[in-house]
Structure 1
Amino acid sequence: MVTQANAYATGFTISIYKNYKEIKITSPWPDAKNTFTYILYPKGTSKPVITTPAIFIATPIDKIVATSTTDIPVLEYLDVQHKLVGFPHTDYISSEKTRTLIENGTIKELGSEHSINTELVLELAPDMLLGFSADGNTKAYDLIQKTGIPVVFNGSWMESHPLGRAEWIKFIAAFFNKEAEAAIIFENIKKDYIEAKAKAENASTSPTILSGNMFKDIWHVPGGNSYVARFLKDANTNYLWADNEKTGSIALSFESVLEKAQQADLWIGSGNSTSLSALEQQNNRYALFDAFKNKTVYSSTLRMGAKGGLLYYELGPMRPDLIIKDIIKIAHPELLTDYQLYFFEKLD
């Protein structure tokens, strides 16, 4: 038995045995009590004899149902998007390549991720369903699992390092016997990310950063140990909540954010307002920040697919190298003179 070492991902392991692969998911959602074990064995061979509880899947799989838009770029990078047969709320998908498959009927609409159309899933008869849960509620998936369709949980969103999320391409690749391709794709992304980070270390300044925005009466900013904070750190910026230890978001009052960040150089991640005037209409107090006055406000939620899906949330986890380059371009434009922003846009 050989257990493959991950460079950054901590939520899964892949162990190779003589006649099967064993994948373990240790962190599918916060405070998960169980480890999920999947046994992958070659199609046409006998099921391995395993004494511990596990879900068995014959590979390579031919048909898959996915439930998160973050799965879409992974399938495309592995060139297996044509094996996707169903997805809940297909309007969320931005990728033109996969949208073509939706429009020609190859990918069926399965309702919402919270109440998947079980009858249609049974009719599609996928080899597996790739699911996720934010809080451990798996009722919809349990019903599908009971019908004999294997449900596999993707915990990539739990990774705190951007490259950890991208490395989950190796996890999905295992079900298609595409590990070699996944390793090359990940290594290229890792290389680009590390090179960009090294370039940012040479910057002569480290601008102060405000992030997040108001929802009702609360301003949510990323925690200091969050995925977003890691990007800001690696791009050599001074994130004003970097010393906070939360991995999720921090709920704050407007007044406390203004006190700490009124003079911040940049506001990165301002929500879905398409202009400074639209942002001010949401809350006229936003205009009190220097970043607003100096027109140094950037949003990552303006690039949308044909049906309104957000490209940043779909492709971003697979391409952290593009996100860090965007932030470096914003914070240290002199370091990436020929680079064009990919996800972020400046509000005018």
Structure 2
Amino acid sequence: MGCNESQQKKESPSLEQTTTLQSTQDAEIAVLYAQGFTIKKQGHITFIQVKSPWPNANAPFRYALIEKKHKNQLKDSINYLRENFDAVVFTPVKRVAATSTTHIPAFELLDVSDHLIGFAETDFISSPELRKRVESGQIIELGSNESLNEEVIIAAQPELFIGFGVSNQNKSYATISKAGIPVVYNGDWVEETPLGKAEWIKFMGAFFGKSEQANQIFNAVVTEYNKAKKLALEATSRPTVISGSMFKDIWYAPGGESWLAQFFQDANASYLWKDSKGTGSLSLNFETVLMQARDTEYWIGSGQFISYSQLKQANPHYQQFNFFKKKKIFTYGLSTGDKGGMLYYELAPTRPDVVLKDIIHILHPNLLPNYTTVFFKPLQP
């Protein structure tokens, strides 16, 4: 079943209807924060349903993961599964191709970096460990997600291709799937909460036979996140903050229900647009932002800007903001890999606890006095 045929395929059987394939006990794997996927283990098969591969998806994608050591035992079931699921994957996988930098941290955290053999736009990888593998040729270039080198991917013969998309119209994915390479969608980027994004490490762990390790990693992140959130409540003030950046005379700012807005709330900050609706971006003209945010104390997340001189050159009116005058602007643009890839885009979704600590340290330095920020750095002169 091709990965792009989900919406045309006949309705898949419920997970319960496939219990005749196994004789061992079922186990639901807890997914506590993420809204986009579920995992259920039945005997030697793990069923994953990705409900939100992209916003407003019309149908879920279903994947059946079969333990390699039981492949022969279940050979009569495999054709049935292939007819009724979007991909059948034999686990643990040892050769994987991936497409998004948000997938990268899971390879390191789950100790399977050597399993990644190909990646789309390798220059965006920030991880020093995986950059070494790119430079040594152990991770090959696959092109861009919108223009994949299908021949290179098929020749590399990965056991799994992990993709992402804004729709099911990527023709390369269909070609890869028809070549016998299982294609799965990782929808981590669709999640709207910090811990929801981070929980997708459980999705990744299932393919490597690392579910227990993934649970331990995620539980540690939750613990650290909640400790930091509780610590922030000890602050004696709630500094005012804005975020986002200008592009062609429009200031794009995170909506009040967005991923980043939740970090500000949990850091005990007063985000200027906290009462706005929506999880996407607000589109504001510069005059509106200047009028509303002139006296705001902090600007955290200034896009690609890395210096005050750069800001001043882009628009002299930035100098009218209080945070410019008092040098309280912080950017993720100074934390990059050797080829310029942004560490924030790569690691932040998996480590929201670190993002939250960064923001708490900036806004309430007395609460984390010995902490060194990982993502957000002060703008250069």
TM-score range, shorter chain: over 0.9
Q: Does 1:36 align with 2:68?
A: no
Q: Residues 99-248 of structure 1 correspond to what in structure 2 (within 5 A)?
A: 99-248=131-280
Q: Write the distance in 1 (CA, Å) between the matches of 2:370 and 2:167.
A: 42
How far off its partner does 1:136 sit?
A: 4.1
In the other structure, the counterpart of 1:10 is: 35
Look up the equivalent residue of 1:10 and give its one-letter code. Answer: Q
Shift, 1:140, TM fit: 2.0
Match of 2:44 in 1: 19
Whether contact under 8 Å (2:360, 2:368) holds in the other structure is: yes
Per-residue deviation at 1:54?
Answer: 3.6
Question: In the alignment, does 2:95 pair up with 1:63?
Answer: yes
Kindly tell me: are residues 136 and 239 of structure 1, through their superposed partners in 2, closer, same or farther at Cα, counting changes over 3 Å? farther
Q: Which runs of 5+ in 1 are unaligned?
A: none
Residues 14-72 of structure 1 deviation map (CA, whole Å, 9 limit, x = unaligned): 01112311000000101101100000011142243447434211111110000001111
Q: Counterpart amino acid of 1:81? A: S
Aligned identity (percent) is 46
Q: Partner letter of residue 108 of structure 1?
A: I
**CA distance in 2 between partners of 1:225 and 1:3 (Å):** 30
Quote how far apart the aligned CAs of 1:253 are: 0.5
- The one-letter code of the counterpart of 1:100 is K
Equivalent pairs counted in the alignment come to 348
CA distance, structure 1, for counterparts of residue 201 and residue 169 of structure 2: 24
1:57-95 CA distance string (max 9 Å, x none): 111111000000111111111011101111111111111
Q: Distance in 2 between matches of 1:192 and 1:324?
A: 10
Report the Cα distance in structure 1 between the residues aligned to 2:188 and 2:349, rounded to whole angstroms: 9
1:73 equivalent in structure 2: 105
- What does the per-residue CA deviation read over 1:135-169, in whole Å, with 9 as the maximum and x for residues that have no partner? 44322212211211111000001111111111111
Question: Using the alignment, how far apart are the partners of 2:85 and 2:224 within structure 1?
Answer: 40
* TM-score, structure 1 as length reference: 0.97
CA offset digits 1:81-119 (Å, max 9, x no partner): 101111111111111100111111111111111111000
CA distance in 2, matches of 1:112, 1:240: 36
Cα distance between partner residues in 1 of 2:267 and 2:239:
10
Structure 2 CA distance, aligned partners of 1:245 and 1:314?
27
Amino acid aligned to 1:87: F
Mapped partners of 1:273, 1:251: distance in 2:
19
Give the Cα separation in 2 of the matches to 1:41 and 1:53.
12
Q: Larger deviation: 163-172 or 43-52?
A: 43-52
Q: Secondary structure at 2:349's aligned position in 1?
A: helix
Residues of 1 paired with 2:215 and 2:88: CA distance? 24
CA distance in 2, matches of 1:137, 1:265: 44
Q: Which SS does the other structure have where 1:32 is aligned?
A: coil
**Hey, what's the Cα distance between the residues in 1 that align with 2:186 and 2:264?**
25
> C-alpha distance in 2, partners of 1:317/1:7?
16
Output the amino acid matched with 2:207.
Answer: F
User: Residue type matched to 2:376 in 1?
Assistant: F
Give the alignment's Cα RMSD to 1 decimal.
1.2
Which residue in the other structure is 2:5 paired with?
none
Cα distance between partner residues in 1 of 2:245 and 2:85: 44
Structure 2 alignment gaps of length 5 or more: 1-25
State the TM-score, normalized to the length of structure 2.
0.89
Query: In 1, distance between residues paired with 2:51 and 2:209?
Result: 22
Is 1:255 aligned to 2:287, yes or no? Answer: yes
Amino acid aligned to 1:67: T
Secondary structure at 1:106 match in 2? coil
1:257-284 deviation digits (Å, cap 9, x = unpaired): 1111111111111122221111111111
1:323 aligns with 2:348: no
